[in-house]
Amino acid sequence: MTDSIETVTVADEDAGGRIDRVLAARIPSLSRSRLKALILGGQVTIAARTILDPAGPVKAGDVISVNLPPPEDPVPQGENIPLAIAYEDEHLIVLDKPRGLVVHPSAGHATGTLVNALIAHCGASLSGIGGVKRPGIVHRLDKDTTGLLVVAKNDKAHKALSKQFADHGREGPLERAYYAFVWGGFDRPRGTIDAPLDRHPYSRERRTVREGGREAITHWDLLETFKGTDGKPVASLLSCQLETGRTHQIRVHLAHVGHPILGDETYGTGFKTKAKLLPDAAREALASLGRQALHAYRLGFEHPASHEHVSFESALPPDLEALHKTLKNQR
């Protein structure tokens, strides 16, 4: 394959604007992150002068040439990993992610990831999108969080979906909801946790609530309350909605307000003794769970091609359904 070239002439109303923003507006098939990478890689010129600053200003009448090299083979290799597909078309794929599956290659997880499975399933349609190690990835779920996740199959879809996820449904059409089984009972039907999150000062893999951190807002609704062997509330089932999308946000926020997620070995270890208050069957179900009891059960968004609102729901996976059933038996 040979390189292709996109040419843009700067209009009067775009004069003085950043080159990456002008190009993103004029070449909608390319995401801004892709354009930034092309600029930094020396693939963008004005009058034969190579532009290396994505924030550099442009003048009216400038003719910008964008050289598009053939897509490079992604570093990760395709692997025959089964995928639970909720929906698929030429633009995107909605998956029901199982427990234990890492979304993209990272330190300690070079293979066996969702990306490896996607490369095998989708082939070259994912190349060059989201970076070589994250082709098509718009958002993530933790390794042991199950549920719905959407992947873009082309740059146009990636750009449109990323914009919706950046808004987190504040004003746009995005819907994301999670089931969370948490310790303790609640004295009100719903609430909001507004607490900034930052990296933990002593553990790079953890997050913590800390003044000066990034804004993080989680809304919750109480769905069910479960009693322990002493007849008092021992656990609850919540529906959580994100207004921001920070790493481990729901897990850290719920632990911060004293209701960590059942089975969360990172943020809920101080509540292990509460397990003795569970009915025998529920205690056994929790012991065999081996992960946080968190499931992304609803995902809705505006389709990047049809612009119709699409929505998907996922039932509790077998391990959480077993936990749910044993907890309900004590109500």
What pLDDT is stored for residue 127 in this prediction?
Answer: 44
What pLDDT is stored for residue 275 in this prediction?
Answer: 87
Which residues lie below 8 Å from residue 308, measured CB to CB, with a gap of 6+? 302
What pLDDT is stored for residue 305 in this prediction?
Answer: 94
**207-209/197-199 β-pairing:** antiparallel
Pick the catalytic residue from 142, 144, 264, 319. 142
* Token reading at 67: 């050289």
* Token reading at 328: 């309900």
* Token reading at 235: 């656990």
Q: Is the Cβ–Cβ distance between 53 and 95 less than 8 Å?
A: no
Q: Please count the residues of the chain.
A: 331
pTM assigned to the model: 0.75
Give me the tens of pLDDT residue by residue for the chain, a chain 331 residues long. Answer: 567 888 899 999 889 999 999 998 888 888 888 888 899 888 999 988 999 999 999 999 999 999 987 765 446 778 889 999 999 999 999 999 999 988 877 666 678 888 888 888 887 666 455 555 567 888 999 999 999 999 998 888 998 999 999 887 787 889 999 999 999 999 999 999 999 999 888 877 889 999 999 999 999 999 999 999 999 999 999 999 999 989 999 999 999 999 999 999 999 887 778 889 998 999 999 999 999 999 999 999 999 999 999 999 999 999 999 999 999 876 5
Find the angle CA(196)-CA(136)-CA(121) to the nearest 5 degrees: 135
Which residues lie below 8 Å from residue 278, measured CB to CB, with a gap of 6+? 228, 229, 234, 235, 286, 327, 330
What pLDDT is stored for residue 128 in this prediction?
Answer: 53
Tell me the C-alpha to C-alpha distance, in Å, between residue 52 and each of 21, 100, 106.
Answer: 14, 41, 28
Please check whether the domain covering 4-68 is classified as CATH 3.10.290.10: yes
What pLDDT is stored for residue 133 in this prediction?
Answer: 56
Residue ranges covered by each domain of the chain? 4-68, 85-167, 176-328
Cα dihedral 120/123/125/131 (nearest 10): 60
- The verdict on whether 142 is a catalytic residue reads yes
Q: Do domains 4-68 and 85-167 have the same CATH topology?
A: no
For residue 35, which phi and psi values (nearest 5 degrees)? -65, -40
Among 163, 177, 249, 240, residue whose Cα is nearest residue 213? 249
- Measure the CA–CA gap between 78 and 134, rounded to whole angstroms: 13
**146-152/294-302 β-pairing:** parallel
What pLDDT is stored for residue 155 in this prediction?
Answer: 86
Read off the DSSP letter of residue 152: E
Cα dihedral 100/102/103/105 (nearest 10): -160
- Measure the CA–CA gap between 195 and 218, rounded to whole angstroms: 9
Please check whether the domain covering 176-328 is classified as CATH 3.40.1160.10: no
What pLDDT is stored for residue 120 in this prediction?
Answer: 87
Q: Is the Cβ–Cβ distance between 88 and 59 less than 8 Å?
A: no
Q: Is the Cβ–Cβ distance between 298 and 241 less than 8 Å?
A: no
Cα dihedral 238/269/99/233 (nearest 10): -30
* Count of other CB atoms within 10 angstroms of residue 269: 10
Under CATH, what is the fold of the domain 85-167?
Pseudouridine synthase (3.30.2350)
